[in-house]
Chains A and B, each alone.
Chain A
Amino acid sequence: GENVEQHPSTLSVQEGDSAVIKCTYSDSASNYFPWYKQELGKRPQLIIDIRSNVGEKKDQRIAVTLNKTAKHFSLHITETQPEDSAVYFCAALIKEIYNQGGKLIFGQGTELSVKP
């Protein structure tokens, strides 16, 4: 079936600490996994994405790891700042037509709160 499970639903950390959000997916054919950040009342925006030919990707304080065998992937935010507070969504692409697109299945979201 088409399903992405995301945990935790809420996460509260102190400024400067790390935050980790985990997702599992059901379609073993999925090869593309983006993460979106949605601030309150605003549109989702892509923050990082990974394909299954690599196990990890970093972009400054953000990193994503992927375990294709276990069908799970995680978002890691280091040195968190108050402006990181938002809802984060993971997603997995199914029915991919390579270099054209496919269907994104989103997780339920994690509300991250970074306390100063």
Chain B
Amino acid sequence: EAGVAQSPRYKIIEKRQSVAFWCNPISGHATLYWYQQILGQGPKLLIQFQNNGVVDDSQLPKDRFSAERLKGVDSTLKIQPAKLEDSAVYLCASSLVREGGFYEQYFGPGTRLTVT
């Protein structure tokens, strides 16, 4: 089974520039997540999609971050304009629901963003 794919793996940009990340979840997984993981911290949820609808975007800085999941499959996360504090690894995950209320999230390899 193919895993969650993300690109690019690394990105270096200057502050105030824009950047976009792409994610392709595991086939058949309806739920897709974007997380921000700052060095030394746990992943923080930015946005959660169920198919192509947004379930939770309460921690997405909407003045600069946007995300979409067209056709309920691939997703893109965009930052415009970037700030220094956006330097982090951006993880995409999709989840499999196991009977009995168990939810395994499969993470992609992440995109390491450095804003200079």
A complexed with B: yes
- Residue positions of A touching B, CB distance < 8 A: 4, 6, 31-32, 34, 42-46, 49, 51, 89, 91, 93, 95-96, 98-109
- Taking Cβ atoms with an 8 Å cutoff, the residues of B that contact A are 31, 40-45, 48, 50, 56, 91, 95, 97, 99-105, 107-110
In the assembly, what is the distance between CA of A45 and CA of B43, in Å? 12
A71 to B44, CA, bound (A): 21
A sample of 12 more A-B contacts (CB under 8 A), given A51-B102, A103-B56, A109-B41, is A31-B101, A43-B108, A46-B105, A49-B103, A49-B104, A91-B42, A101-B50, A104-B45, A106-B43, A106-B44, A108-B42, A109-B42
Q: How far is the CB of A62 from chain B (nearest CB, A)?
A: 15
Q: Which of the listed residues A91, A93, A101 has the most CB atoms from chain B within 10 Å of its own CB?
A: A101
Partner of B102 from the list A44, A49, A91 (CB cut-off 8 Å) is A49
Quick check: B102 and A95 within 8 Å, CB to CB?
no
Known: A44-B91, A101-B97. A109 touches B104 (CB 8 A): no
Interface contact tally, CB-CB below 8 A: 65
Q: Contact check: which of A32, A45, A100 meets B50 at CB < 8 Å?
A: A100
A32-B42 in contact (CB<8A): no
Contact check, B42 vs A101: say whether CB atoms are below 8 A apart.
no
> For residue B31, which residue of chain A has the nearest CB?
A101
In the docked arrangement, what's the CA distance between A96 and B102, Å?
11
A97 CB to closest chain B CB (Å) equals: 9
From A46, A95, A106, A109, give the contact of B40 (CB < 8 A). Answer: A109
| Chain B residues closer than 8 Å to A106, beta-carbon distance | 42-44
| CB<8 Å pairs between A and B, sample of 20 | A4-B42, A6-B42, A32-B101, A32-B102, A43-B109, A44-B43, A44-B105, A45-B107, A46-B104, A49-B102, A49-B104, A89-B42, A89-B43, A95-B56, A96-B101, A99-B97, A100-B50, A100-B97, A106-B44, A108-B40
